[in-house]
Structure 1
Amino acid sequence: MVKLTDLSSYADAQAHASSAALWDLFDGDRDVLNIAHECITRHADGSGRAAVRIAHADGRDEILSFDLIAAGAARFAHWLDAEGVQPGERIAFMLEPSLPFYVCLFGAMQTGAISVPLFTLFGPDALKLRIDDCKPSILVTNAEKAELARGAVTAENALRVIVADEGLLDEIAKFPATYAPKTKAGDLAVFQYTSGTTRELPEAVKHTHKALVTLMFAALYGTGIRPRNASGEGDEFFCPSSPAWGHGLWHGTLAPLGLGVTTGTFAGRFDPVRLMKALDDYGITNMSAAATHYRMMKNSGAAGDYAFHFRKLSYTGEPIDPATLEWIDETFRVPVCSMYGTTEIGVVLVNYPGAADFTVKPGSLGKAVPGQKLEVQRPDGTPTAPGEIGELMLWRGGGWMTTKDRAKIDDEGYFYHCGRADDVIISAGWTMSAVEIENTMLRHDNVLECGVIGVPDEKRGQVVKAFVVANRAGDDGFVKELQDFTRERLAQHEFPRIVEFVDELPKNPAGKVHRKMLRDREAAKAAEAVG
């Protein structure tokens, strides 16, 4: 059977990609498989080859080998056994990328326990909601977050908080550096919380060990990752997204490591200049990032200070605005490829990075991964015509399921994102897209970031309100300038009637502007005014 990692063209993907071909990439089978073994242990050959490069916000570079992580994970697995942890128990981690993070993540999965990565910037409410939901027996965090973590401990959950420091590494050092995994392919491996606000609990998506196999569709055709071949050709990969988010964990960590590819990540408060220095220093040829990461690099104005080596670029989470797309083309001279999916359904639309026979259309979501069927439908369930906006539907389990996204297709079958279903604004009978208005405003030289929502209005039902982060002071003249700028480029009715200048916009762990939080804030202010 041909090995999928030896192929790169779109035609080959359609001809050869199959479930059997994906399983052929791994040691495990449909009965017995373990993510930690596939991603770390089988690549630990004593050579000291790098598994993860970590660019710390403070300027430090940290390189962790497959050998180092494999030994530490085995010791942590033995430690969990000694502590009486049973298969199926949840072990939560609130850690930045670091040796303790990878040791704990992979060590827990070897024992049959379920790893639960948690975002390090969660506040007490967000953390407690997740702890109460998944009920972990142990929460591993750092000294800085220990007090916050202990605040989530109650008599009901009996949570143990463990500080991941040198003391923990010293404690597990007495255990053997090898471990025999205890899992079946269908055993649960990871609970992944989708992006959400601090005041509401998003659903935990439960992944089995065999999810690593289907993940390879995204790795091969969404990010285009390829290991080094006999000729020495292959990727130097980087993903700056937090591993507490699906993109950072699955696409940025497990996918490349599962193929034996060295991955890179970012630790600490995100800094676009620090990222660009790491991309230069590490000689990164393939990066997958959030739209916000690209936008922040553009806004830094510092890209000219660094050399870039990209052959493949991808993004996910939200569309990239046209101004940033133009900047990427001019700066990196490589087409950036959208990768569309959710934590719940996985990646289903891709642009096949590295495929010479696939045309990447700017702003497009691309086409379906092999074996997936998608359609844009009208409210009555019939397919839309090219250019007509409808609801993006996925064929799954013998029927159509909604993605809760609006989309359109073109004459060649490429899909385009047209916003979330709840981001549609209807004002005086006009239907407007928050995404379209944001993208237009972001073309203005003085607009750095923008979030658009609909707010109640007695006369029109709703009007458009824009929250703007700008590089100049906001005043009435600037408001009118932005309104005219938008109206001239869209339609006479399609502009923000209200503009509020802010220092920053709320974002979820994915780096996306959190429009729901903006809507909730406006609703709270309206309720307070009435009260």
Structure 2
Amino acid sequence: MTNLSSFTSYADAQEHASSAALWELFDGDKQGFNIAAEAMLRHADGSGRPAVRIAHADGENEILSFDEIASGAAQFAHWLDANGVSKGDRIAFMLEPSLPFYVCLFGAMLHGAISVPLFTLFGPDALRLRVDDCKPAVLLTSDEKAELARSVEGPRIVVANDTLIGSLAEYPTEYEAKTKGDDLACFQYTSGTTRELPEAVKHTHRSLVTLMFAALYGTGIRPGDEFFCPSSPAWGHGLWHGTLAPLGLGVTTGTMGRGKFDAARLMQALQDFGITNMSAAATHYRMMKNTGQSGQFRFAIGKLSYTGEPIDPDTLDWIDETFAVDACSMYGTTEIGVVLVNYPGAKDFAVKPGSLGKPIPGLALEVQRADGTATDPGEVGELMLKRKDGWLSTKDRAKIDEDGYFYHCGRADDVIISAGWTMSAVEIENTMLKHDDVLECAVIGSPDEKRGLVVKAFVISSRARSDEFVRELQDFTRTRLAQHEFPRIVEFVDELPKTPAGKVNRKVLRDREAALAAA
């Protein structure tokens, strides 16, 4: 029977995509649906087919099959029963991608408990806030993180290492899922600061169904793809788009494992695994470009997508030269999901460089003025999503063109108003990144008594730091934008704060500047 994964064109997406058609991709229904059963167990056929490929920083490639993850997940579900865990209890795990990570992730959801992935680089304050919020019955972590985990009160701390995996052998390798589509499956925390914890986004098992809109039309996943997503599976992009979406369609996925991220190691993995479809953060592509080593590898990429923030023009040119494939933006948030896509693999959809694309089938988005009226093409306004009860703000600024393509114009809080002038941090960043000596850049508004805010740029460069270099960057920017659009302050740094998904975290920079100003 033909289902949505058989269609690749934009026209077919508009004609055939519907909520009912998404359910046809799965075995379960609303009364009996389980993410682990759909994304793992039903694909475990005894063949040893790979489910996840992990590229560790030390050069080791770890390949896990559907069979071993599925059997381990069933055994872990029995282990939870034996340890008094009830349906609906939270099971937190702070683990790098590994066999224990996937066994715990899918085993908890198979059992009916709620999986809570936690980023492995959390400090004690960030970990404690999340544990206090979700109150897990069990917190699973590695040997390296065990001492940190034991510093928080509440959950039972279990070290998920080879010893734990070995102990699961006494349990059966089959487990019957008993969850409904509306039962909770996962709590997802966004990357907030330790002073302001965002509320966990609570996903049900049926969230896997609606996720398929993003999988089919945002990342372009289809059976037969060799997929890879370098984002951490502790976060939305890495977990939902990089892990659950491909596995839900029976597609082998891949990710980066233990150790510090290295862009050359990523390119080596793309070559070693024969990756044909990759979804990554914009920063991942920029970091690959900056290595200058892409010519050393052979790629088989046929589809590319990116998320998190726009890609600067120079990096887009590098993608064209390196992969000869359109870089397709995928826009959304943890709270609302993916809403704008570029339909990777659809030959009848023209990808416009730098565009967010068009809405996924069935959604309506609009760029609006402050009074709620729709903007004209080229006019910047607030990006709004149509819901049953009205328009919902995405808190992003955007514009559309005459053909209905959407363009990102920065977060609402990335607009810098200085002495009455309104400037875009993203626009200034993109201009500075065109300078040959600027490897990475982040721009914010820094508090100033006279102007309210002034533009400040944080720059990573291999060139020697000097006042002359600062003036050169200022002149380079103002001559390409406007006389008032340039960084009055330039600070050279060795690294920029980033979210675990790889996006530059301007909020951290703004908070630092505000604290300095207050001091």
Regarding TM over 0.5, the answer is yes
**Range into which the TM-score falls when normalised by the shorter chain:** over 0.9
**Distance between the aligned counterparts of 1:395 and 1:363, measured in 2?**
23
**Distance between the aligned counterparts of 2:388 and 2:138, measured in 1?**
36
Alignment of 1:95-494 (within 5 A): 95-153=95-153, 157=154, 159-227=155-223, 234-268=224-258, 269-494=260-485
How far did residue 455 of structure 1 move?
1.4
Indicate if the aligned counterparts of 1:2 and 1:16 stay in contact, CA closer than 8 A: no
**Distance between the aligned counterparts of 1:183 and 1:42, measured in 2?**
16
Output the TM-score relative to the length of structure 2: 0.99
How far did residue 505 of structure 1 move?
1.0
**Distance between the aligned counterparts of 1:90 and 1:456, measured in 2?**
42
Deviations 1:221-277 (A, max 9, x none): 0000000xxxxxx21100000001100000000000000000011112211011100
Indicate if the aligned counterparts of 2:447 and 2:514 stay in contact, CA closer than 8 A: no
How far did residue 198 of structure 1 move?
3.7
**Distance between the aligned counterparts of 1:350 and 1:160, measured in 2?**
42
**Distance between the aligned counterparts of 1:318 and 1:420, measured in 2?**
10
Question: Which secondary structure state, in structure 2, belongs to the residue aligned with residue 173 of structure 1?
Answer: helix
**Distance between the aligned counterparts of 2:412 and 2:359, measured in 1?**
21
Indicate if the aligned counterparts of 2:447 and 2:513 stay in contact, CA closer than 8 A: no
Indicate if the aligned counterparts of 1:286 and 1:310 stay in contact, CA closer than 8 A: yes
In structure 2, runs of 5+ residues without a counterpart are none
Query: Is 1:75 matched with 2:66?
Result: no
RMSD (CA atoms): 0.8
Identity of aligned pairs, percent? 77
How far did residue 209 of structure 1 move?
0.1
Indicate if the aligned counterparts of 1:117 and 1:192 stay in contact, CA closer than 8 A: yes
Question: Which secondary structure state, in structure 1, belongs to the residue aligned with residue 443 of structure 2?
Answer: strand
Query: Is 1:91 matched with 2:78?
Result: no
How many residues end up aligned between the 2 structures?
Answer: 518
How far did residue 459 of structure 1 move?
2.2
How far did residue 394 of structure 1 move?
0.2
**Distance between the aligned counterparts of 2:54 and 2:466, measured in 1?**
42
Amino acid at match of 1:80: L
Amino acid at match of 2:257: A
Output the TM-score relative to the length of structure 1: 0.97
Alignment correspondent of 1:230: none
Indicate if the aligned counterparts of 2:34 and 2:177 stay in contact, CA closer than 8 A: yes
Deviations 1:340-388 (A, max 9, x none): 0011101000000000000000000000000110000000000000000
Amino acid at match of 1:220: L
Indicate if the aligned counterparts of 2:447 and 2:517 stay in contact, CA closer than 8 A: no
Indicate if the aligned counterparts of 2:9 and 2:349 stay in contact, CA closer than 8 A: yes
- Segment of structure 1 superposing worse, 502-511 or 350-359: 502-511
